Amino acid sequence: MTEKMRAVFKISPEPGATEFRDIPIPHPGPEDVLIKVAICSICGTDVHIYNWDAWAQNRITPPLLYGHEFAGEVVEIGDRVKEIQVGDYVSAEGHIYCGTCYQCRMGMRHICSRLNILGVDTQGIFAEYARIPAQNIWKNDPDLSMEYATIQDPLGNSVHTVFATDIPGRNVLILGCGPTGLFSTAICKHIGAEHIFVTEDRNQYRAAIAKKVGADEVFLRGDDVEGEIMNATDGIGVDVVLEFTGSPVAVNQGLKVMRTGGTMALLGVFSKEFTTDLTDNVVFKYTTLQGITGRLIWDTWYRMRSLFRSGLNVDPIITHRFKFDDFPEAMDIMRSGQAGKVVLYIE
């Protein structure tokens, strides 16, 4: 093994400011594993870091090796690691939990009070090798495609959101055609939703992907969403709303077209507070609101494995493939919005 590796760094607190650096290959600690990264993918979080928006300015301290979606092969293990072996084909849960706080002890490791996020609070995986705590390693099925293995972090967000509600046989409204909204559309179709409505602001490229993976109707800005949905549901409204936009307008629209006694699960992150009519939209409608963050560790991962084994198809969502050396071009296409998921192969 060479002593150096190539890695992508956010080098300074400004837009862009990303470059390749040659750095020492890390050595695993007693409870870590070292992975030779074979493939990685770009997340919306990585775009925030690249763009240096308000969230990144308040959270990120450059220089930072970023990235957290990947798959690869274990090449070295720490002295105390027992369950993982050299040669294992793995991905990783990106939320690094302490295991001892109240939430962890109550089985809610995804909301650990000392949570660190891979590639945000710690050094990430846009590199030829990655050091990861063994507790966070997930062994992939040997026949799982690398492109599916690398997108389990965002797919897991969608799985968590979908399975927080009751989907089979139900009418569903999905707010947003970003990757998590698209993954959720595919999952809802796979597990037997009755009718899937999807909203997208202006991005016709992603709206077309939504149709490919199972959306029955996709509404763009200016469409009569409320009228169309109420007509299609005989005036009842949808049973479930899945929110991925972080848009107050979208949330209020979703609450309006939800049936009495319906459920809304929210993964979208809002930039500021907003006003809604809780009395009419939530209290009198007997609405259930469920906030979602991350993935249930490890319940969500087992559900993903079962979905893959039963034939879940998300191929249309993985739209662009690059070599690792072409990271700048890959980031540009992801930032353009004219992409689903963008993956990079590391040779």
Q: Where are the domains of the chain?
A: 4-151+314-345, 156-291
**Residue 201 near residue 219 (C-beta atoms within 8 A):** no
- pLDDT more than 90, % of the chain: 99
Summarised one tens digit per residue, pLDDT across range 92-147 is 999 999 999 999 999 999 999 999 999 999 999 999 999 999 999 999 999 999 99
Report the half-sphere exposure of 39 (CA within 13 A, side-chain side): 21
Do 156-291 and 4-151+314-345 fall under one CATH topology?
A: no
152/92 Cα distance (integer angstroms): 9
Residue 75 CB burial class (10 angstroms; 0-12, 13-18, ≥19): middle
* Helix/strand/coil (H/E/C) assignment for every residue in 23-54: EECCCCCCCEEEEEEEEEECCHHHHHHHHCCH
pLDDT of residue 8: 99
DSSP state of 140: P
Cis peptide before 298 (omega within 30 of 0): yes
Give the residue numbers marked as catalytic: 45, 48
Residues 6+ apart with CB under 8 A from 263: 165, 166, 239, 240, 241, 287, 288, 289, 290
Please tell me the predicted confidence (pLDDT) of residue 1. 57
Cβ neighbors of 138 (< 8 A, separation 6 or more) are 90, 91, 92, 93, 152, 298, 301
CATH class for the region spanning 156-291: alpha beta
Tell me what pLDDT residue 339 has.
98
pLDDT band at 347 (very low <50, low <70, confident <90, very high): confident
Considering only CA atoms, which of 261, 187, 175 is closest in space to residue 225? 175
Q: Model's pTM, two decimal places?
A: 0.97
What percent of the chain has pLDDT above 70? 99
| pLDDT 10s digits, 267-310 | 999 989 999 999 999 999 999 999 999 999 999 999 999 999 99
319-328: pLDDT as tens digits: 999 999 999 9
Pick the CATH number of 4-151+314-345 from 3.40.140.10, 3.90.180.10, 3.30.230.10, 3.40.50.880: 3.90.180.10
Average pLDDT over residues 221-237: 98
SS3 62: coil
